[in-house]
């Protein structure tokens, strides 16, 4: 028995040593020898220049198209009063995400003085824009026709059907029982829309639009869309219009300004001239750069030809910013 | 800590032999060693403590703590803690593995067995169980387990031989002897067990060459010194056994006391990074202050209105306090300028580079099956910045193998191989070596290719016989027969070994010696010569002679030595032969061989007897003894008859010459620091082409006093400047150019100079006031050789250059004596595969052959540096672009520390979205160093493909060769840009680059490419500012283009697009795309991995974005993922894509323009330097610059290079002869020397080097 044992161990030992001897030689793989097939992409100056010209053409073209389309937008802006929404601060934003689900982060608008939780809580909800705007068209100088407006489709689908949800209950008022309305609201959340019972609670379109916080202090939010029926199939006909605005949202107190904008849309959305202008400028600058690069390159190229001292097979130095 | 406290108390050590109980009360350390840092229990606390001592980690911990304060928390906790935990864990795992291996090696050492005398019996004990006071038995070739007091040995007089290579790197044997009282104990266990001597000695210390103590035994006291002590780490040689008593064990041994803690090495980039991080932190604080002030003002002026808007009736907030909180909030938000992932990525990249070194087959030495090993993973990029290489000689440049190559006997040269035409040719594999199989005693490894010598032997040429007889007689070699009956030579110097072995193979076999006789087997017959006198070698004589009486009764003096010395002693009749031999010697020396001249003299009996009488008288003299003896030696060594000369090759390692040439072309200065003699060192210098006869001057500094040294240095400098001035006048053309460049490049010296300095002079030269002179001179010389230097001096020289020149240094060596220099240089390289491991263990990189240094530096080093710099540039750029957007946003959000991006994006940006492409670039990128036409060919396919999209002719480009060069320089950029806009989208990949155009080969072929690293060109403070500016510009574009575009707009369907969340998504998407395009531009070597990572990262970004904005994940974690539906809504808007595209173009185009113009208008300094070099040297590729094998050479000869004085004495005294070779009946010699004094003499001489070492040390201490 012991002999057998010894022979076994010896064999394994030998095997191991032979393996050791081999394993010390590193594998000859492309990865380990740093010889992975690779593209050393080396191009001449001409390559860069042609790319630049192409980029310039693209940007210029895009800029002109954008400017033209922005110009085609018809916008009517009605100034109401000054609004500098300093809507956007950290404290404010924190409350957005948690206004429905969680009252923990809603300070200072999470609970009313008597301790009942506020629904919806938070500063943004509290500061909801609650003016009502009715646009009337004076067909003949006497009869104003209320321009039909759609309140649907002004929110993101995900906001309406995923993000905001009403508490499940038979009727909303019982669902919100035990909560109180935000201090600045006239009506509780379940009575926001008297006309459409489905447009109440957290699923109120105006509420949802408001809760999608703007990125900057000055912002536009969609109020209503034109319902293209009757007189308005072709859009708003020329004529006299009047706004009937219920002024609920005070902006004078914080030296704000608000306005109502009637606008058409283009393929690129209701964009401003900015994008088109910047595109045009970028395109122009790229072209300018290309020309100057070409000029510099050509002059230096000539100079180099005359400099015969430099041996031909000079190694190329890679460069790096 | 515990131990050191105890040690500080120990003033003297008292040890009693064989009495563990007695010794226990002193609580001396036992023989167990710990080099490991942690145990399982202490790992976590100690490791964490260590890690948080790092500034970066502490900084991130601080940020984490800040984030826990709700008032200022602007990011969620996971943005910091996830990366931090990742980093800490990675480092901890690495530390743990390292420590595990230390534990393992500790265990291995601790579990070695040694024989300990316990209860009058020898018992096997593990090393760790050996206690102070134990008596242990050592056998031949065993490692010494602890510091022992030698008690007795197998050799007469209680002698034993040790090899101290592990301690001081010297490979020659040293003698230790026991006290005569204890040596009598012999191997008698019972007497040894009863030995109860008490040793009182010094406390543990690190002085290797000093020991003082007293042994009290049997009522008498014996003083002990270093000669009685064997230290741990030595190996017992030529001594079959010895007994010793343990004095110091384990951590108290001198070996362990000497193994100072390895200095933690950092690369210069690391140091630069530390500065930059501080600057960035300052920048961060500035930004924070600006924003905090903004916040205070805002609170003061607008805050009220804002609260009104919110119907927030809480009265006025303190605007100052609010500003203060905002400051900290912004510090948190903006912390990503120095992301923790930067440090992790750097480590990963370095690790990758280390693996490439380990995996490199071109650095694998099949001879010893040793691959190269990167033992440190943190220094790789420093390999690309080396300016000075300090190299050991023996075992590093040379193989430490001496081979008998050629000889000249009686005017006839042997050893050359001639072809049929009678022309000398190189020895190739075709040549058949001389067959020595007739001679059963021949050394199988010996090879000789010239058959004529063997023929001469067979023909019975008497001069050849005499020549070989001399080689067999005149030496200090000891012979031994191993168990297989084979003759083994114990040699003191490998030169002699080579000569004696040559004689052996040609039939003159040195068999054995006694103090009075030498037995040689001459062509099969045993001949015993009587050894009448032994005229030993010393540095002044540079020769050695023996006087023997042959069986016929003739007395002969055989002498070998340096030709310069010996030729003066020749008999006038030798003139013709002398000229011939001198020619041969020049030829040998020209080939870098080590030569010796060989001569003999017939003496008549009477003359010799008179002379011998005088010698005896001289020996008896008390004063002027040495001078008298020297005079007598001179007297008899004259009128010599020249026999010929030998040429021994100190075999250089393969490829040393090419490596040195190549490294010099890379502007790396190579200094040779060797313990060898001046002659040897110079010889090797010539052999490796470091010294050439074309050199303008070789300065040799060999002064013995400080004044002399200073004077010599001054003269050398004067000489150098004088010559230079006169020579540079001729170069008016270059003057202007030079002036320009010289402000940057210091070497104004035209012409090559070399400096040779010996250890003795170096000791003086390293004194503070002469130091600068030395350094100045040395740095202007092309080659510096320091000989006879101690390990400590090696380190001092390295430190000198390191500190005073501020240069990056590399030290390479193989032995324990190189450890100090390896440790003190920025990079230490050990030659592995040798017997001693000390150098390798202390090193940062190890490989088996010196020639791999070329690849390590020029390829791996250069690439690592290149990659690391690129990586850092990009990383800083990326994070500035990423983070500074918050600063601009601050002005639009009331400075409220609101983040622009989604929290998840901030968390994932650095570790997921952008980490892999930059890692891939940092690991795989290769500089584009095509070689003219070959690289152009590789462009072809791509050009053609591009042409399908654009319309220009690539042929023109390629053909206009030198002119298109600049265009090529712009390539990586332009190509990538084109690739991005055209290539990658509209064409299929072409064939891979041809194997001829391998980047590593061009790195080797054009060593000049190494220079940017030395000049620190690729990443420095200037570069950092450029990157920062680049990042700031990008952040501006990233923020203000979307801002302008989103200002007062609506989406395609009239819905929101200007809301915060859409803005965040647009910015984030733009950012990811911009930095991806940028990395695509920066990557110059696109492997599959780069493709996968870059495209993959963008794809990952979008998939994660859509996942996090999906309904499902919102349903699960509504609070964590509030961006539901955002990606879907925003990224389907054309307008947003137009914004993203515009942002990308606006961010990238100016960069490309600037780079393009930069390359055209102001090529880098390295370009200019290179051009100047090219113009001056008319540089050709290295291949055509093969070093010349033959030089018209001045003759050099050095004798017995590794030889030591004193062995002659040892031999004639017979003290080192085995008892089994009993001395024959009395000879003349018995009275030659006073037998009691030889040991002292010998020890004095052998410790010469050591004592100079100790002097240095004490001076330093």
Q: What is the ipTM of this complex?
A: 0.84
Name the pTM for this structure. 0.78
State yes or no: pLDDT of B747 exceeds 60. no
- Is the pLDDT at B746 greater than 50? The verdict is no
- Per the document, the length of chain A is 321
- Choose, from B99, B168, B252, B392, the residue flagged as catalytic: B392
Chain A hits for B1160, Cβ within 8 Å? 293, 296-297, 300
Furthest C-alpha separation in chain B: 130
Helix and strand counts by DSSP (H, E) for chain B: 50, 36
The mean pLDDT of chain A is 70
**Beta strand B241-248 pairing with B213-217:** unpaired
Within 8 A of B1055 by CB-CB distance, chain A residues are: 153-156, 222
> Predicted confidence band at B447 (pLDDT cuts at 50, 70, 90)?
confident
Contacts of B967 in chain A (CB under 8 A): 43-46, 297
Q: What confidence score (pLDDT) does residue B1039 get?
A: 93
Could you tell me if A125 lies within 8 Å of chain B, comparing CB atoms?
no
Q: Are B897 and B74 in contact (CB under 8 A)?
A: yes
Tell if the CB–CB gap between B1088 and A37 is shorter than 8 Å. yes
Residue A182 has pLDDT above 70, yes or no: yes
Residue B832, CA distances (Å) to A25, B234, B811, B829 in order: 15, 19, 14, 9
- Give the minimum alpha-carbon distance from A124 to chain B in angstroms, rounded to a whole number: 7
Residue B456 has pLDDT above 80, yes or no: yes
Tens-place pLDDT, residues B875-902: 999 999 999 999 999 888 878 888 888 8
Chain B's closest residue to A288, CA to CA, is B1153
Give the residues across from B402 on adjacent strands.
B650
Q: Which residues, numbered 91 to 120 in chain A, qualify as contacts with chain B under a Cβ-Cβ cut-off of 8 Å?
A: 91-93, 96-98, 101-102, 108-109
Q: Considering only residues B456 and A99, tell me which one the structure prediction assigns the higher pLDDT.
A: B456
Q: Could you tell me the two tokens for B482?
A: 């191993």
Distances (CA, A) of B933 to A216, A314, B960, B968: 57, 11, 11, 11
pLDDT band at B1234 (very low <50, low <70, confident <90, very high): very low
The pLDDT > 70 percentage for chain B reads 79
The two beta strands, B845-847 and B827-831, are parallel
Other CB atoms closer than 10 Å to residue B326's CB: what's the count? 27
The residue extents of the domains of chain A are 51-73+266-292, 104-263
Q: Are B466 and B600 in contact (CB under 8 A)?
A: yes
Rounded distance, CA B316 to CA B216, Å?
91
Q: Distance from CA of residue A85 to its chain's centroid?
A: 19
Cβ neighbour number for residue B1115 with a 10 Å cutoff = 11
Is B1220 or A45 the better-scoring residue by pLDDT? A45
Q: How far apart are CA B624 and CA A80, in angstroms?
A: 121
Residue A254 has a pLDDT of 67
Token pair listed for B637: 């060594």
Q: Which DSSP letter does residue B1059 get? A: B
Mutate to test the interface with A, among B70, B355, B862, B893 (most CBs of A within 10 A): B893
HEC secondary structure over A15-72: HHHHHHHHHCCCCCCCCCCCCCCEECCCCCHHHHHHHHHHHHHHHHHHHHHHHHHHHH
Q: Binning pLDDT at 50, 70 and 90, where does residue B740 land?
A: very low
Mean of pLDDT values over B1246-1257: 37
User: Which tokens is B777 given?
Assistant: 């001179």
Chain A residue with the nearest C-alpha to that of B927: A318
Contacts of B873 in chain A (CB under 8 A): 320-321
Whether A168 and chain B come into contact, CB under 8 Å, resolves to no
- Identify all chain A residues contacting B1090, using CB atoms and an 8 Å cutoff: 38
SS3 state of residue B232: coil
C-alpha closest to that of B826 among B276, B269, B275: B269
Q: Are A169 and A163 in contact (CB under 8 A)?
A: no
pLDDT, average across residues B366-394: 89
B970 pLDDT tier (thresholds 50, 70, 90): very low
Which residue, B559, B566, B602, B571, is CA-closest to B582? B566
With 60 as the cut, is the pLDDT of residue B1021 above it?
A: yes
- Partner residue opposite A51 with nearest CB, options B978, B997, B1058: B978
A109 neighbourhood in chain B, CB within 8 Å: 312
Average pLDDT over residues B1089-1105: 94
Q: How far is B327 from chain A (nearest CA, A)?
A: 14
Closest Cβ opposite residue B1009 in set A46, A184, A315? A315
pLDDT tens for B1136-1180 read 898 999 999 999 999 888 888 877 776 654 444 444 444 444 434
3-state percent breakdown (helix, strand, coil) of chain A, nearest 5: 40, 15, 45
B392 counts as catalytic: yes
pLDDT single digits (tens) B1048-1085: 666 656 666 677 888 899 999 999 999 999 999 888 88
* A253 interfacial to chain B (CB closer than 8 Å): yes
Cα separation, B335 vs B339, whole angstroms: 7
Q: What percentage of chain A carries pLDDT values higher than 70? A: 69
Assigned token pair, B294: 């903004």
Where do we find the tokens 């060109």?
Answer: B1017
Cα nearest neighbour of B306 on chain A:
A86
Hunting for tokens 């032979």 — which residue is that?
A18
Q: Which tokens sit at B1226? A: 């009395």
- Is the pLDDT at B315 greater than 70? The verdict is no
**Which range among A222-226, B607-611, B708-712, B822-826 shows the weakest confidence by mean pLDDT?**
A222-226
Please check whether residue B751 is in contact with residue B694, taking contact to mean a CB–CB distance below 8 angstroms.
no
């Amino acid at each position: 028995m012991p002999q057998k044992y010894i022979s076994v161990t010896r064999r394994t030992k030998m095997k191991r040593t032979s393996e050791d001897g081999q394993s010390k030689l590193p594998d000859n793989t492309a990865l380990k020898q740093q010889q992975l097939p690779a593209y050393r992409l080396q191009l001449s100056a001409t390559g860069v220049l042609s790319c630049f010209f192409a980029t310039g053409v693209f940007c210029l073209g895009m800029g002109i198209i954008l400017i033209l389309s922005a110009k085609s937008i018809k916008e009517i802006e009605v100034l109401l009063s000054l609004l500098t929404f300093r809507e956007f601060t950290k404290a404010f934003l924190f409350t957005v995400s948690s206004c429905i689900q969680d009252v923990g982060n809603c300070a200072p608008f999470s609970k009313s003085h008597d301790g009942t939780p506020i629904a919806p809580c938070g500063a943004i909800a509290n500061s909801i824009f609650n003016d009502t705007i009715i646009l009337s068209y004076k067909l003949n100088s006497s009869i104003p026709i209320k321009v039909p407006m759609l309140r649907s489709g002004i929110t993101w689908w995900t906001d309406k059907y995923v993000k905001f949800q009403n508490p499940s209950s038979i009727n909303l008022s019982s669902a919100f029982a035990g909560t109180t309305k935000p201090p600045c609201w006239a009506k509780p959340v379940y009575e926001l829309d008297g006309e459409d019972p489905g447009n109440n609670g957290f699923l109120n379109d105006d509420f949802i639009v408001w809760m999608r916080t703007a990125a900057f202090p000055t912002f536009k939010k969609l109020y209503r869309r034109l319902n293209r029926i009757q007189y308005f199939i072709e859009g708003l006909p020329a004529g006299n219009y009047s706004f009937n605005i219920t002024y609920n949202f005070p902006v004078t107190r914080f030296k704000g300004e608000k306005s109502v904008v009637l606008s058409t849309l283009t393929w690129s959305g209701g964009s401003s001239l900015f994008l088109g202008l910047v595109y045009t400028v970028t395109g122009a600058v790229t072209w300018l750069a290309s020309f100057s690069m070409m000029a510099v390159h050509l002059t230096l190229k000539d100079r180099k030809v005359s400099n015969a001292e430099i041996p031909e097979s000079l190694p190329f130095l890679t460069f790096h910013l | 800590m515990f131990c050191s406290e105890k040690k500080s108390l120990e003033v003297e050590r008292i040890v009693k032999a064989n009495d563990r109980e007695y010794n226990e009360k002193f609580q001396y350390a036992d023989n167990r060693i710990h080099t490991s840092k942690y145990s399982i229990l202490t790992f976590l606390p100690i490791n964490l403590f260590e890690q948080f001592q790092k500034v970066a980690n502490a900084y991130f911990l601080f940020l984490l703590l800040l984030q826990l304060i709700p008032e200022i928390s602007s990011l969620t906790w996971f943005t910091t803690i996830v990366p931090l935990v990742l980093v800490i864990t990675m480092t901890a795992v690495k530390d743990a593995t390292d420590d595990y291996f230390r534990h393992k090696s500790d265990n291995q050492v601790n579990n070695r067995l040694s024989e300990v005398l316990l209860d009058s019996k020898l018992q096997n004990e593990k090393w760790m169980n050996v206690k102070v006071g134990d008596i242990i038995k050592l056998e031949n070739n065993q490692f010494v387990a602890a510091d022992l007091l030698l008690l007795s040995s197998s050799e007469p007089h209680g002698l034993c031989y040790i090899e101290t290579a592990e301690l001081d790197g010297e490979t020659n044997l040293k003698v230790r002897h026991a006290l005569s009282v204890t040596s009598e104990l012999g191997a008698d266990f019972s007497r040894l067990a009863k030995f109860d001597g008490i040793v009182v000695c010094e406390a543990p210390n690190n002085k290797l060459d000093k020991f003082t103590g007293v042994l009290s035994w049997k009522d008498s006291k014996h003083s002990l010194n270093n000669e009685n002590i064997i230290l741990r780490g030595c190996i017992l040689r030529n001594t079959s056994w010895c007994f010793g008593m343990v004095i110091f064990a384990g951590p108290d041994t001198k070996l362990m006391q000497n193994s100072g803690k390895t200095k933690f090495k950092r690369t210069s980039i690391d140091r630069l990074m530390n500065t930059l991080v501080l600057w960035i932190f300052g920048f961060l604080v500035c930004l924070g202050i600006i924003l905090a002030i903004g916040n205070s003002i805002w609170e003061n002026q607008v805050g009220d209105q804002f609260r009104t808007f919110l119907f927030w009736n809480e009265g006025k907030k303190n605007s100052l306090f609010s500003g203060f909180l905002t400051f900290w909030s912004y510090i948190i938000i903006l912390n990503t300028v120095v992301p923790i992932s930067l440090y992790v990525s750097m480590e990963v990249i370095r690790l990758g580079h280390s693996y490439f070194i380990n995996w490199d087959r071109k650095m694998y030495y099949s001879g010893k099956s040793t691959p190269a090993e990167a033992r440190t993973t943190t220094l790789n990029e420093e390999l690309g910045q080396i300016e000075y290489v300090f190299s050991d000689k023996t075992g590093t440049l040379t193989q430490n193998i001496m081979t008998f190559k050629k000889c000249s006997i009686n005017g006839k040269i042997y050893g050359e191989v001639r072809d049929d035409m009678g022309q000398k040719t190189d020895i190739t594999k075709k040549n058949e070596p001389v067959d020595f199989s007739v001679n059963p005693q021949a050394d199988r490894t010996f090879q000789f290719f010239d058959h004529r010598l063997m023929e001469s032997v067979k023909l019975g040429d008497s001069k050849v016989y005499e020549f070989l007889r001399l080689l067999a007689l005149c030496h200090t070699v000891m012979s031994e027969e191993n168990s297989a009956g084979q003759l083994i030579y114990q040699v003191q110097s490998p030169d002699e070994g080579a000569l004696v072995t040559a004689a052996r193979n040609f039939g003159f076999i040195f068999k054995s010696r006694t103090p009075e006789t030498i037995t040689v087997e001459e062509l099969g017959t045993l001949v015993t010569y009587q050894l009448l006198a032994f005229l030993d070698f010393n540095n002044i004589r540079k020769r050695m002679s023996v006087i023997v009486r042959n069986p016929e009764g003739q007395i002969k003096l055989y002498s070998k030595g340096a030709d310069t010395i010996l030729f003066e002693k020749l008999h006038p009749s030798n003139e013709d032969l002398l000229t011939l031999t001198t020619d041969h010697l020049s030829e040998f020396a020209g080939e870098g061989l080590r030569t010796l001249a060989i001569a003999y003299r017939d003496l008549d009996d009477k003359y010799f007897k008179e002379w011998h009488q005088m010698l005896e008288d001289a020996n008896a003299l008390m004063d002027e003894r040495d001078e008298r003896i020297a005079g007598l030696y001179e007297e008899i060594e004259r009128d010599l008859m020249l026999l010929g000369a030998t040429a021994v090759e100190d075999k250089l390692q393969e490829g040393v010459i090419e490596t040195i040439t190549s490294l010099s072309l890379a502007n790396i200065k190579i200094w040779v620091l060797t313990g060898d003699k001046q002659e040897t060192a110079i010889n090797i210098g010539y052999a490796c082409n470091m010294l050439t006869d074309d050199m303008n001057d070789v300065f040799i500094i060999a002064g013995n006093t400080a004044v002399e040294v200073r004077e010599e240095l001054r003269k050398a400098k004067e000489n150098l400047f004088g010559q230079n001035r006169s020579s540079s006048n001729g170069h008016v053309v270059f003057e202007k150019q030079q002036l320009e460049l010289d402000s940057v490049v210091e070497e104004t010296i035209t012409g090559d100079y070399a400096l040779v300095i010996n250890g003795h002079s170096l000791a003086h030269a390293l004194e503070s006031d002469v130091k600068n002179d030395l350094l100045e001179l040395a740095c202007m010389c092309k080659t510096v050789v320091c000989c006879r230097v101690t390990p400590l001096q090696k380190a001092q020289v390295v430190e000198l250059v390191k500190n005073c020149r501020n240069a990056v240094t590399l030290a390479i060596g193989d032995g324990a004596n190189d450890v100090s220099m390896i440790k003190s240089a920025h990079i230490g390289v050990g030659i592995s595969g040798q017997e001693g491991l000390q150098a390798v263990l202390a090193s940062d990189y190890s490989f088996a052959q010196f020639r791999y240094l070329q690849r390590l530096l020029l390829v791996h080093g250069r690439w690592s540096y290149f990659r690391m710099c690129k990586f850092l540039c990009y990383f800083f750029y990326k994070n500035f672009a990423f983070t500074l957007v918050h600063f601009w946003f601050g002005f639009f959000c009331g400075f409220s520390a609101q983040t622009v991006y989604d929290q998840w994006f901030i968390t994932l940006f650095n570790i997921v979205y952008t980490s892999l492409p930059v890692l891939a670039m940092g690991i795989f990128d290769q500089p584009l160093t095509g070689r003219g036409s070959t690289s152009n060919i590789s462009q072809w396919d791509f050009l053609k493909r591009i042409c399908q999209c654009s319309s220009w002719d690539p042929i023109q480009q390629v053909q206009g060769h030198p002119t298109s060069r600049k265009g090529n320089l712009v390539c990586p950029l332009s190509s990538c840009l084109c690739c991005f806009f055209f290539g990658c989208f509209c064409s299929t990949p072409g064939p891979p680059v041809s194997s001829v155009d391998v980047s590593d080969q061009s790195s080797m072929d054009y060593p000049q490419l190494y220079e940017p690293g030395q000049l620190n060109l690729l990443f420095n403070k200037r570069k950092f500012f450029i990157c920062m500016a680049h990042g700031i510009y990008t952040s501006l574009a990233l923020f203000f283009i979307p801002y302008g575009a989103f200002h007062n707009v609506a989406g395609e369907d009239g819905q929101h697009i200007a809301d915060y969340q859409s803005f965040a998504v647009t910015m984030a998407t733009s950012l990811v795309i911009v930095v991806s395009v940028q990395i695509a531009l920066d990557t110059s070597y696109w492997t599959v991995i780069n493709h996968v990572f870059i495209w993959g990262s963008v794809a990952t970004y979008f998939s994660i974005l859509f996942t996090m904005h999906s309904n499902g994940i919102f349903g699960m974690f509504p609070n964590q993922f509030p961006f539901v539906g955002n990606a879907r809504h925003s990224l389907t808007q054309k307008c947003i894509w137009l914004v993203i595209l515009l942002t990308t173009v606006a961010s990238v185009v100016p960069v490309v323009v600037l780079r393009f113009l930069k390359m055209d208008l102001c090529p880098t300094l390295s370009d200019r330097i290179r051009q100047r070099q090219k113009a001056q040297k008319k540089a050709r590729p290295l291949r055509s610059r093969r070093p010349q094998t033959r030089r018209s050479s001045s003759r050099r000869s050095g004798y017995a290079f590794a030889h030591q004085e004193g062995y002659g004495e040892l031999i004639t005294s017979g003290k080192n002869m085995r008892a089994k070779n009993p001395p024959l009946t009395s000879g003349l010699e018995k009275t030659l020397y006073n037998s009691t004094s030889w040991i002292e003499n010998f020890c004095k001489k052998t410790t010469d080097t050591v004592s100079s070492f100790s002097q240095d040390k004490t001076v330093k201490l």
